[in-house]
């Protein structure tokens, strides 16, 4: 049975979802998106994702075509109609169709699409194994704080990592790690300092990053929002990534250097547990 997807107000079998070839999302990557995790059929930290969505739309001057209540209703309807217990809901808003022109159209009619994907998030096989990372040069633009669908550079970075036998890439700029291809990057030093790059226009302001930093305050660890180098990462006690669907996930090898004993470590395990407990308790 095919999924039901949402396209501009309609709920359709996925084969019937259609958008214009003139859509600026397609021609210019002129659009933004959000991914909210679903656990036990319920959205995780969705309000924070909607706040970031507003910000992305505002930065690009795309009018918000639906109220938050309408978005939440659409998300929940897809979860129900697709019997989604665990996975994610994807939401994308583009500036919509217009004759091809670099200038923004005067009266845009944004395109809104949503779909669901089923994934095992809590019991992902990567939790026990941990993931391996290759570092690559960060080739992206300078407004990485806007969550646009212009994802070719991180997609290339991930492909380079996969072809090198790793699970994902961390991107490096001016000698410092910016973030992962679709996640924020963290290290934990031998004196229990959690380090992750500070917020700026050079990284996405991860919703899970913020949640994990809040939860980390409950643990006997210090948090430092400062950039770190590859070498800092090679020598870390533990390392991890955060994203809406990965939660907190251990990194056990970076550019061939084992992190700790190359197994997921206790602090990341603890942060992951805290995050999942909080999400399930929402």
**Which residues lie near ligand PMP (CB under 6 A)?**
35, 179, 182-184, 204, 206-209, 242-244
Q: Return the half-sphere exposure (C-beta side, CA atoms, 13 A cut-off) of residue 49.
A: 23
Question: Is beta strand 131-137 parallel, antiparallel or unpaired with respect to 168-173?
Answer: parallel
158 carries an active-site annotation: no
Least distance from C-beta 269 to ligand PMP, angstroms?
A: 19
Q: Which is nearer to ligand PMP, 48 or 267 (CB)?
A: 48
Catalytic site residue from 147, 158, 237, 263: 147
Angle subtended at Cα 275 by Cα 38 and Cα 218, rounded to the nearest 5 degrees: 160
Nearer to ligand PMP, 12 or 29 (CB): 29
The least CB distance from residue 184 to ligand PMP, in Å, is 5
Beta strands (DSSP E) in 138-183 are 168-173, 176-180
Between 98 and 203, name the residue whose CB sits nearer to ligand PMP.
203
Q: Which is nearer to ligand PMP, 92 or 182 (CB)?
A: 182
Question: Which residue, 14, 19, 33, is CA-closest to 151?
Answer: 33
The token pair at 192 is: 């229990």
Helix pair 46-60, 207-216: axis angle to 10 deg: 130
Residue 75 C-beta: closest distance to ligand PMP, Å: 15
> What are the strands of the beta sheet with 111-118, ordered from one edge?
10-13, 4-7, 111-118, 87-94, 31-39, 42-43
3-class state of residue 217 by DSSP: coil
CB of 98 to ligand PMP, least distance (A): 26
Q: Which residues are catalytically annotated?
A: 147
């Amino acid at each position: 049975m095919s999924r039901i997807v949402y396209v501009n107000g309609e709920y359709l079998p996925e084969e019937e979802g259609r958008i214009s070839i003139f859509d600026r999302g397609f021609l210019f990557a002129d659009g933004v998106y959000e991914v909210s995790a679903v656990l036990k059929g319920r959205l995780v930290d969705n309000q924070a994702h909607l706040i970031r969505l507003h910000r992305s739309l505002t930065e690009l001057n795309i009018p918000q075509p639906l109220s938050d209540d309408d978005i939440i209703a659409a998300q929940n309807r897809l979860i129900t109609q697709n019997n989604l217990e665990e996975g994610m809901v994807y939401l994308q808003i583009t500036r919509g169709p217009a004759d091809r022109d670099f200038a923004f159209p005067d009266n845009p009619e944004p395109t809104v699409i949503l779909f669901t994907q089923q994934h095992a998030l809590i019991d992902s096989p990567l939790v026990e194994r941990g993931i391996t990372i290759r570092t690559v040069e960060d080739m992206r633009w300078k407004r990485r704080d806007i969550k646009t669908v212009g994802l070719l550079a991180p997609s290339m970075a991930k492909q380079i990592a996969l072809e090198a036998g790793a699970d994902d890439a961390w991107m490096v700029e001016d000698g410092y790690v910016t973030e992962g291809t679709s996640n924020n990057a963290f290290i934990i030093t031998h004196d229990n300092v959690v380090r992750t790059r500070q917020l700026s226009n050079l990284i996405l302001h991860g919703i899970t990053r913020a949640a994990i930093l809040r939860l980390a305050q409950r643990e006997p660890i210090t948090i430092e929002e400062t950039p770190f180098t590859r070498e800092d990462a090679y020598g870390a006690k533990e390392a991890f990534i955060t994203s809406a669907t990965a939660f907190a996930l251990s990194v056990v090898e970076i550019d061939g250097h084992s992190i700790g004993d190359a197994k997921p470590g206790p602090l990341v395990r603890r942060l992951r547990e805290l995050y999942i407990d909080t999400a399930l308790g929402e």
